[in-house]
Amino acid sequence: MAIVDGLLFTLTFVTALGCGLIAGLFFAFSVAVMQALARLPAAGGIAAMQSINVTILNPLFLSVFLGTAAGCALVMITSLARWHSPGSVYLLVGGALYLIGSLLVTVVFNVPKNEALASVAPTDPDVAGLWAGYLASWTTWNHVRTVASLASLSSLILGLCSLEQ
């Protein structure tokens, strides 16, 4: 049982770190990147965001973002299998917060907005309204992802504290 406890602790610790990294990335977008892009003329903001959306899909980001999701799923499964153990509810909630509030929100809201933006010609004279709507909606959903990732991190930390007791 001590080996299983050690593996669960390590898995939860690494998963919590991933949640923290993703929360920090989303936070940076909410408080700086999107605000900076909003200050640009629509054509410049769109071109910059299109470049960001292509660049972010790299192996390191995808490994952390999707690896954290996989870690959350494993932590949740383990918490259900050990339901009566201390901290199980924190682990379950922490995993669910990330999977729903970060991964699912990204797939359902942010990615479709990014894909729609990818098809826009930044030089089209009618893009100002589209860009303003994109900024408002995308950033709102990014705030949700930020809070969910941070809440997930917090819950996983509480679960870790419970595991050590």
Residue-number span of the structural domain to which 33 is assigned: 2-163
Instruction: State the amino acid at position 56 in one-letter form.
Output: I
H or E, element range at 30: none
**pTM of the shown model:** 0.95
What pLDDT is recorded for position 1?
59
CA distances from 75 to 38, 122, 136 (A): 38, 43, 34
Burial of 37-65, coded b for 16+ CB within 10 Å and e otherwise, reads beeeebbebbbebbeebeeeeeeeeeebb
Element (H, E) at 120: none
Nearest to 87 by CA among 21, 8, 15, 150: 8
Structure tokens at 150: 């941070």
Taking residue 118's Cβ as centre, other Cβ atoms within 10 Å add up to: 12
Tell me the average pLDDT of the chain.
96
User: Is 164's pLDDT higher than 90?
Assistant: no
Q: How far apart are CA 142 and CA 86, in angstroms?
A: 32
Distance CA 136, CA 16 (A): 29
According to the model, what pLDDT value does residue 34 have?
98
Q: Closest Cα partner for 143 from 96, 99, 94, 109?
A: 109
The Cα–Cα gap between 94 and 75 comes to 9
The string of pLDDT tens digits covering residues 12-31 is 999 999 999 999 999 999 99
Q: Report, as an integer, the average pLDDT of 91-109.
A: 98
Structure tokens at 87: 């901290």
Question: pLDDT tens for residues 66-92?
Answer: 999 999 999 999 999 999 999 999 999
Number of structural domains the chain divides into: 1
Phi-psi map region of 41: left, alpha, beta (phi>0 left; psi -120 to 50 alpha): beta
pLDDT in tens, 124-146: 989 999 999 999 999 999 999 99
